[in-house]
């Protein structure tokens, strides 16, 4: 670490108190409320989080209410916020707190780290804001600000960089207002020291910023060897019958774990030119009741729609889909007399769901995009077109 240390903490804290945004979670020192806000704010913009946070706190005002809820209830309220694993970890953490401490939130950094799903950043934020513990809270905004302030030349995502920032903050952090200091760094990164087009003229730390002195703060933070986003095709089936749509539960691990999806698969192909949509149906739907019906509907060239693009952290889906409306088959009633729609759900985790329920379940954003773009589906079902 470079030896010169300028104590810019008073400038930052003073600036924060003057200009901080009036956000609902900043009106409380309650550790649970701060925890909820920090989880929601991960990889999500403040303006998006505010209404979700308010609804969530109204429904689950304390750790007992959240722990008592079912996973489905929590995911349902989280719908549209994305990154559903955050909601699941928050729910599991609440159950842990109720089970191990009778619902009393841990009151220091080390104890907070014992909660499943709570990492060093979240523990630091809660401990410093709720309990005024002198510990850093290092997120992406903080890394960017410190990289520019200190003209840090190493890859910002490396462990060496994290240790540097941690040790540096332990020197700078004021003992009397660590919560305001940590929130000030986050606020500075979110509103002034932004990834692109930083507003250096408004920065209270301009005189201390070595990146600014160098003439180009945009050089920092340094990021090397970032993993390339994998491009994949995601053919998808939308099966309809009697105002219902077929959904499946995703595996309990991996991308979008335990969430609902329209049946489909990932493909490492350049195009779907010779793709068999009927083969996709046979591999994704175990129940063989509707094979002939689906084959009949797919005999002519399928009406393939798309693409829509949805990007995850290291994967990008190029989504195409085909709508299969079983109500258009003339002998459907005979087939249904010989089988049961419930049979499907018992074999592969599938479920026929009322279309109106799609507004309430935890359907990932990628599939919400497909559903909202496939115009005319609801009208088509209701009119048996």
Return the active site residues.
38
Cα-based angle 296, 301, 297 (whole degrees, multiple of 5): 20
d(CA 252, CA 257): 5
Of the CA atoms within 13 Å of residue 277, those in its CB half-sphere come to: 24
- DSSP lists the bridge partners of residue 356 as none
Lookup: tokens for 227? 């993993």
Total H helices, total E strands in the chain: 18, 6
d(CA 248, CA 261): 5
Listed residue (240, 236, 237, 250) closest to 355, CA to CA: 240
The runs of H, that is alpha helices, within 155-290 are 159-172, 178-191, 210-214, 277-284
Task: Kindly compute the dihedral angle of the four CA atoms of residues 85, 88, 93, 94, in this order, to the nearest 10 degrees.
Answer: 150
d(CA 185, CA 145): 7
d(CA 131, CA 230): 42
Listed residue (256, 240, 247) closest to 384, CA to CA: 240
d(CA 38, CA 152): 26
Cα-based angle 35, 39, 45 (whole degrees, multiple of 5): 125
d(CA 147, CA 324): 53
d(CA 380, CA 122): 47
> Do 173 and 134 form a contact (C-beta atoms < 8 A)?
yes
Give CB contacts under 8 A, 24+ apart, made by 23-28. Answer: 23/50, 24/50, 24/53, 24/54, 24/57, 25/53, 26/183
């Amino acid at each position: 670490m470079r030896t010169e240390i300028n104590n810019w903490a008073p400038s930052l804290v003073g600036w924060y108190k003057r200009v901080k945004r009036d956000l609902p979670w900043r009106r409380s020192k309650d550790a649970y409320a701060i925890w909820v806000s920090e989880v929601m704010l991960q990889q999500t913009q403040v303006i998006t989080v505010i209404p979700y946070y308010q609804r969530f706190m109204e429904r689950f005002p304390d750790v007992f209410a959240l722990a008592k809820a079912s996973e489905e209830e929590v995911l349902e309220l989280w719908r549209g916020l994305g990154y559903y694993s955050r909601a699941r970890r928050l729910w599991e953490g609440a159950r842990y707190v109720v089970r191990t401490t009778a619902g009393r939130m841990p009151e220091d950094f080390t104890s907070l780290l014992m909660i499943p799903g709570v990492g060093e950043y979240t523990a630091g934020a809660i401990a410093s804001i709720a309990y005024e513990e002198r510990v850093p809270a290092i997120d992406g905004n903080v890394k960017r600000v410190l990289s520019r302030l200190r003209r840090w030349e190493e890859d910002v995502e490396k462990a060496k960089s994290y240790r540097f920032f941690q040790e540096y903050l332990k020197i700078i952090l004021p003992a009397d207002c660590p919560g305001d200091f940590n929130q000030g760094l986050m606020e500075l990164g979110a509103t002034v020291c932004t990834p692109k087009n930083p507003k250096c003229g408004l920065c209270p730390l301009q005189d201390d910023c070595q990146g600014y002195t160098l003439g180009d703060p945009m050089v920092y933070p340094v990021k090397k060897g970032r993993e390339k986003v994998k491009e994949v095709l995601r053919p998808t089936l939308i099966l309809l019958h009697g105002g219902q749509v077929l959904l499946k539960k995703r595996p309990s691990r991996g991308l979008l774990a335990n969430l609902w999806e329209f049946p489909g698969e990932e493909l490492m192909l350049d195009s779907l030119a010779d793709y068999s949509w009927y083969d996709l149906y046979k591999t994704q739907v175990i129940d063989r009741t509707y094979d002939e019906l689906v084959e009949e509907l797919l005999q002519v060239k399928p009406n393939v729609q798309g693409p829509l693009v949805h990007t995850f952290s290291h994967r990008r889906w190029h989504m195409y889909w085909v709508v299969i409306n079983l109500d258009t088959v003339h002998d459907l009633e005979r087939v249904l007399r010989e089988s049961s729609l419930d049979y499907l759900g018992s074999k592969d985790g599938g479920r026929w769901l009322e279309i109106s329920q799609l507004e309430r379940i935890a359907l990932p954003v990628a599939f919400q995009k497909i559903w909202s773009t496939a115009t005319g589906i609801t009208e088509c079902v209701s009119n048996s077109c």
